[in-house]
Amino acid sequence: MVMTVQLIWVLQFKFLLTFNQLLPLFQIVLGMSLMNSSKVRQSIKDKWVSKNYKVKEYFDTAKQHSYYPFGKSNSSNSMIDPRNYYAFHSYFEQLKQRNTTQFGLFTTWLLNLEDQVEGNVQIPFNVNILDLTVINNIIYSINSMFINYNQTEIEQIFDDKLQMLYLNSTNFLASHVQSGILNTHIDISNPYYPSQYVFYMFASKNVQLLNSNLDKLNGCAKEVAKIYDKMLKANATQFILDTAKFNSNKELHWQDFLGNYANKTYEEDNTFTTIMSLSILVNTWTTTQVDKSGNLKLYFDPQTPQTVIDIIDRGMKTVSKHGFFEKSNINAFYSITLKTYTSQFYYPMNVHKYLNGTEFNPHQGAQDIVQHIAGVDGIIDKDEYEQMLKEKWYSHETQEKFTGFNVPRQQFAFWSSEALTFSYGMNLLSKYNSIDRSNLNIPI
Ligand SMILES: *[C@@H]1O[C@H](CO)[C@@H](O)[C@H](O)[C@H]1NC(C)=O
Ligand SMILES: *[C@@H]1O[C@H](CO)[C@@H](O)[C@H](O)[C@H]1NC(C)=O
Ligand SMILES: *[C@@H]1O[C@H](CO)[C@@H](O)[C@H](O)[C@H]1NC(C)=O
Ligand SMILES: *[C@@H]1O[C@H](CO)[C@@H](O)[C@H](O)[C@H]1NC(C)=O
Ligand SMILES: *[C@@H]1O[C@H](CO)[C@@H](O)[C@H](O)[C@H]1NC(C)=O
Ligand SMILES: *[C@@H]1O[C@H](CO)[C@@H](O)[C@H](O)[C@H]1NC(C)=O
Ligand SMILES: *[C@@H]1O[C@H](CO)[C@@H](O)[C@H](O)[C@H]1NC(C)=O
C-alpha cells in the first residue's frame, strides 16, 4: 500500500518540480552571483537577464503563495499540511494566545489550490507544506539579494510583506532548532530533506554569507544575521561535536542514518556526512574576506573555541587522506514526504473534502492522494487539538513519537547524488586551504 502511494507520487513529481521553490531559488541565487561578479563578461550577463532574471516576479510569487494562518480571507493561504501542523502546533497556539495577526511563513509550493489544473498541475496532496530546509534556502535568496543586488531594485522588492515573511520565517526556524524538533520529528518538520546535517549545512551557508558582509546589511538583515549566528554557534556546533566519532583507525568522521539497521552499519553516508559536518563548522566559525593580494581568504572568528579548531583540523586529516572518496559516496539528500508510519497523514485535520468540494469522513478509510484535500485551516484551539489527537485519522491512531527512518518494511524513496558529495568535498578542501590563521595566536 505504502509503496503504491509512493510510486504515484514519484510519477507526479516531474510535473511539479517547476512549481517547487527549488528551481527559482537556484536561479535567483546563481543569477545574483553571476551578475555581481566582475569576472563575468557583460554579454553573458545580458544573456542571463534576457532569459531568466525575474527577481521581483519571483518574490511576488513567493509572497502570494506563503502561509498566513491568521488571515482567513483566502483559505488556500491559511491551510497547511496536517503533518506539518502537528510538528509546529505548539508554536502556532502560542501565537494565537498572544492575539497575533501579522504573521507569515514561506512555503514549499508556488501554487495554490485555485491555480491547480486538475490532472496536470497539482500540489502533492493538494495542500501546501512547510519544510525548515526549504525555508532556510528562501532566506538565503533574500540574503544574497542584500549582498549582491542593485540597491534601487531592492527597495522596490523588499516591502513590508516580504520583511514580515523574512523575519517571521527566521524566528520560526531558530525557535524550532532550539526546541529540538530536528531531533524529535525531522520527518514532518523537514519533510523533503531527511538529514539534519543537510539542514545545518544550508543554514551555515547563510551565516557565512551574512557574517562576511555585515557592512552591506540593513537593520532587518542584521537581526537575521544575529539569530543565525546564535543558532549555528550554539545548536549546530553542539550537534556536530556531539555526533563526532572515531573509526578503528582513529579517524574522525560522522555518520547519518543510511544503511544502519539491526545493529549493523554499512557506512553508506559517512563520506557525505563527514563533509557536511566539517563544512558546517568551517562556515559557522569563519568569514570570507579579500586579502591584500586580492585573494579570498577565510578567517576564524577570534572567539572560536579551541575544540572546534581541533575538530576541524582532525576531521580534515580524514578528508584529505588518500582513498577518502573511494568508499560509498551516496547520501539521502532529498526524499519524498511519505516515509515511515509517522510521516503518513495520520494527524488531525479540519479540512477533509474532495477537489469538487464534497466532504469525506477523515476518520475512516484510506487517503485518495489525487482527489482528497486534507489540511488544517487556520489555528485550532489548544484543547480542541488535544482532543483531536485522541481520534483516528484515515483509520489510524496518531503516533506522536518518531523513532527514526530505519524501520523494517517501511522503506521510502530518496534522491542520492554522488556528484554532490564530490562538489561539496572539493568546496570544503578549497575553503580549508584558504584559511588564514594570522589573526589567531595559535600555532598550526
Ligand atoms: C556587487 O554588489 C555590491 C553591492 O552589494 C556592489 O557594491 C558591487 O559593486 C557589485 N559588483 C558588481 C561587479 O556588480
Ligand atoms: C486566493 O489566492 C489565489 C492565489 O493568489 C488567487 O488565485 C485566488 O483568487 C484567491 N482566492 C480568493 C477567494 O481570494
Ligand atoms: C539599478 O537599478 C536601477 C533601476 O532598475 C537602474 O536604473 C540602475 O542603472 C541600476 N544600477 C546599477 C549600478 O546597475
Ligand atoms: C512577524 O512579523 C511581524 C511584522 O514584521 C511582527 O510584527 C511580528 O512580531 C513577527 N512575529 C514573529 C513571531 O516573528
Ligand atoms: C540550542 O541552544 C540553546 C542555547 O545554547 C539551548 O538553550 C537549547 O537547549 C539548544 N537546543 C538544543 C535542541 O540543543
Ligand atoms: C541491537 O542490539 C541490542 C543490544 O545488544 C539488542 O537489544 C537489540 O535487540 C538489537 N536489535 C536488533 C534489531 O537486532
Ligand atoms: C466529488 O468527487 C467524489 C470523488 O470523485 C465523488 O465520489 C463525488 O460524488 C463527487 N461529488 C459531486 C457532488 O460531484
Rounded Cα distance, 303 and 84, in Å: 37
Mean pLDDT of the 50-54 span: 77
Dihedral (CA of 155, 159, 162, 168) sign: positive
Is ligand 5 within 6 A of the CB of residue 178? Answer: yes
**Separation CA 362–CA 393 (nearest Å):** 6
Q: In terms of Cα–Cα distance, which of 309, 288, 285 is closest to 232?
A: 285
Give the pLDDT confidence score for residue 122 in this predicted structure.
83
Mean pLDDT of 227-242: 98
Residue nearest to atom 3 of ligand 3 (CA): 152
Question: Within this chain, do residues 298 and 430 fall inside the same structural domain, yes or no?
Answer: yes
* Residue 293, domain member (yes or no): yes
Confidence of residue 261 (pLDDT cuts 50, 70, 90): confident
Please check whether residues 185 and 245 belong to one and the same domain. Answer: yes
Pocket probe mutation, ligand 1, options 29, 148, 149, 214, max atoms within 8 Å of Cβ = 148
Asked if 147 and 207 sit in the same domain, the reply is yes
Mean pLDDT for the chain overall: 91
Residue 43 within any structural domain of the chain: no
Q: Which residues of 219-238 are buried (b: 16+ CB within 10 A; e: fewer)?
A: ebbeebbebbbebbbebbbe
C-beta 184 within 6 A of ligand 5 = no
Ligand at minimal distance from the CA of 176 is 5
CB contact at 8 A, 147 and 204: no
pLDDT at 6: 35
Do 145 and 186 belong to one domain? yes
Q: Which residues contact 57 (CB under 8 A, 6 or more apart)?
A: none
Q: Do 369 and 251 share a domain, yes or no?
A: no
- Ligand 2 binding pocket includes 64 (Cβ within 6 Å): yes
Q: Is residue 192 part of a domain?
A: yes
The total number of structural domains that make up the chain: 2
201 in any annotated domain: yes
Residues 301 and 335 in one domain: yes
311, three cell numbers: 575538530
Residue 55 lies in a domain: no
Mean pLDDT of 338-343: 94
Q: What percent of the chain has pLDDT over 70?
A: 93
- For residue 178, being part of any structural domain is answered with yes
Sole residue written with cell 491547480: 116
Inside any domain, residue 231: yes
Locate cell 489525487: which residue?
370
**Residue 397: φ, ψ to 5°:** -75, 145
Q: Write the residue with the smallest CA distance to atom 3 of ligand 1.
A: 148
Residue 173 has a pLDDT of 98
What's the pLDDT at 32? 87
Which residue lies with its CA nearest to atom 3 of ligand 5? Answer: 178
Residue 293 and residue 150 share a domain: yes
Residue 7: pLDDT above 50? no
**What is the number of the ligand 6 atom nearest to the C-alpha of 262?**
13
Same-domain check for residues 102 and 13: yes
- Nearest ligand 1 atom to the CA of 148 is 2
Residues 311 and 233 in one domain: yes
Does 433 lie in the same domain as 298?
yes
Residue ranges making up the domain that contains 308? 136-344+400-444
Is residue 32 included in any domain, yes or no? no
Nearest CA to ligand 4 atom 5: 164
Q: Are residues 309 and 286 in the same domain?
A: yes
1 shares its domain with 94: yes
Is the minimum distance from the CB of 36 to ligand 3 under 6 angstroms?
Answer: no
d(CA 353, CA 113): 13
| Residue 324, pLDDT above cutoff 90 | yes
